[in-house]
Amino acid sequence: MLEHLFNPESISVVGASSDPRKIGHAVLENLVLQGYGGRIYPVNPASSEIMGLKCYPSLEAIPSRVDLAVITLPAKQSVDLLEQCVKKKIPYAVIVAGGFSEAGEEGRVLETRLREIIKGTGTRVIGPNTVGVLFPYTGVNTALTPHDRLFFPEKGEVGFISQSGALGLLVMDSITEYRMGISGFINIGNRADIAETDSLRLFEADPNTKSIVMYLESVSDGEQFFKTVKEVNRKKPVIILKTGRSLESTRAAASHTGAMASNDRVFSGIMRQAGITRAYDETELLDFGKALAYQRPPPGKRVAVITTAGGVGVLTTDLLTSPDNHGRLEMASFNDEETREMRKFVLPFASVANPIDLTADGSTEAYGKILDVLVRSDSVDAIIAYALPQTPKINMDIVGTLKLAASSKPVVAGAIGNRLSKVMLGELEAARIPAFPSVSRTVGAMKVLCEYGEYLRRHRND
């Protein structure tokens, strides 16, 4: 089932066009340029060949099996075409067009018809009103934006489910800046068939996915969603950005409790109950997805901080120990033996109390020796490490050093700056060490990592 969507043998683009202004052109081009390796069947009765591919007059005319149909026609025609998908036993259809339930009564009727057509059949629909799916591992890319307008992420471990297509595409374009990848993207759109719960199950089953991030504006079936997300979150951490937080309970409630039950209060409590990590903006969403995909949750909340810039360490301490949306953590303290050993590798005026500041004199080698002490320490559950290449003794070898430490203890890294820091962040990304270009983002990622660990420990038995 998963296979036909994530790794289809063949894809048909219905409404494919050689006119660059048409959506059917962008979708076909994205498939070709993303390097999709399966067979592509453009369908358009008015053409015989598009982008060097043989074009078919209809789905029926395609001589072999189709795993995924991308329908780029207007709403009404898309629904008519869905009947042919069912007849040809196509497992998945992406319906791009808007003009369904989001657009009034006529659209609602059309969406109901769409559901009736596929009811009890082997065809599942993504959308309508969707930019579709992106699976970098197989080159499946049904996005409707022209390929020269944005970047698409490379192969990664974060599965991305979004109710909004545009926000999804923009966020994916953003994360390419530091070479972050994804395992897949599903824009559920109007979710006439495949909704957030099904999408969670798909990524749960996908072996490349290690964490799942979701952008939601509402939930379609709360009871089912709670059950599913709680279950999936135990195997693969789920992070949710949910909008509509300012909506208050709109009806006069009969009880005091009812009056207090705003949508966001109830949603927050229930997500806490399911152990879900909440993100409060699109940056946090992908930051937390990355942290939880690349590192295992620490066994406790005692964090060691290592830096070559004093102010960065002090600010980290402040943010780490003050409560916010993502809780608060503790600064680890070191015993005399650990302190003595770390002293050997730093200048006399450097600090080896937490936060450890090697100062501008700190070298990659000294950094490695101190990390080694932290990795062996019984009083350290996790490490925040700043890889700051602006001083001469810190070089790119620090990535290997951090990778070694991360094989024993969870590490979250920060690299602040532009020129060399961007290179550093790219290298850390390639090494799958979650790394961020600011102190607050670094600390935020560590907080959710620890919170997730604590949830798993506390709720072992329910």
Partner 1 sequence: MTDSGTEPQKVMVEKQAKDLLSNHGISVPRSVLSKDLPASIRLKFPVVLKVSDERILHKTDVGGVILNIGTQEALEREFISMKSRFPDSEYLIEEMLPSGIEYIIGVTRDRDFGQVIMLGSGGIFTELYGDVTFRKIPIFKEDAEEMITGIASGRFCQGFRGKKVDCNALADLLIKISALLESGSYPIESMDLNPVIALEKGVVVADAKIILRGKS
Note the residues at the interface with partner 1 (CB under 8 A): 218-219, 222-223, 225-226, 249-251, 253-258, 260-261, 263, 265-270, 272-273, 458-459, 462
Which amino acid makes up residue 88? K
Name the nearest CA neighbour of 2 among 158, 157, 169, 183: 183
Residue 311 exposed, middle or buried by CB count within 10 Å (0-12, 13-18, 19+): exposed
The distance of closest approach from Cβ of residue 14 to partner 1 in the complex, given in angstroms and rounded to an integer, is 35
**Rounded CA separation 267/226 (Å):** 10
Minimum CB–partner distance for residue 273 and partner 1 (Å): 5
Q: Which is nearer to partner 1, 157 or 451 (CB)?
A: 451
3-state class (DSSP) for residue 307: strand
First to last CA, the chain: 30
Pairing of strands 411-414, 124-126: unpaired
Residue tagged 């966020």 (tokens): 171
Whichever of 87 and 272 has its CB closer to partner 1, that residue is 272
Task: Tell me the C-alpha distance between 352 and 293, whole Å.
Answer: 30
What is the rounded CA–CA span in Å between residue 439 and residue 231?
A: 32
Cβ closest to partner 1, residue 273 vs residue 408 = 273
CB of 461 to partner 1, least distance (A): 8
**Six token digits for residue 375:** 């990795």
> Length of the chain, please?
462
* Nearest to partner 1 of 77, 263 (CB atom): 263
Minimum distance of partner 1 from residue 271's CB (angstroms):
10
- Provide, rounded to whole angstroms, the least separation between the CB of residue 188 and partner 1: 16
Task: Give Cα 27 distance to the centre of its chain.
Answer: 22
* Cβ proximity to partner 1, 84 vs 249, nearer residue: 249
Reference 412, options 293, 318, 330; nearest CA is: 293
Q: Are strands 277-279 and 302-307 parallel, antiparallel or unpaired?
A: unpaired
User: Smallest distance, Å, CB 251 to partner 1?
Assistant: 6
Alpha carbons 346 and 57: distance in angstroms, whole number: 73
* Closest approach of partner 1 to the CB of residue 102, in Å: 19
CB of 265 to partner 1, least distance (A): 6
Nearer to partner 1, 21 or 460 (CB): 460
Cα separations in angstroms, 132 against 30, 241, 246, 277: 12, 20, 29, 25
**What DSSP letter does each residue of 261-309 carry, written as one string?**
--HHHHHHHHHHHHTPEEESSHHHHHHHHHHHHHSPPPSSSEEEEEESS
Query: C-beta of 310: minimal distance to partner 1 in Å?
Result: 34
The nearer residue to partner 1, 271 or 373, going by C-beta atoms, is 271
Gyration radius (Cα) of the chain, Å: 25
In the complex with partner 1, which residue's Cβ is closer, 246 or 257?
257
244 phi-psi bin (left φ>0, alpha ψ -120 to 50, beta other): left
Instruction: Between 37 and 269, name the residue whose CB sits nearer to partner 1.
Output: 269
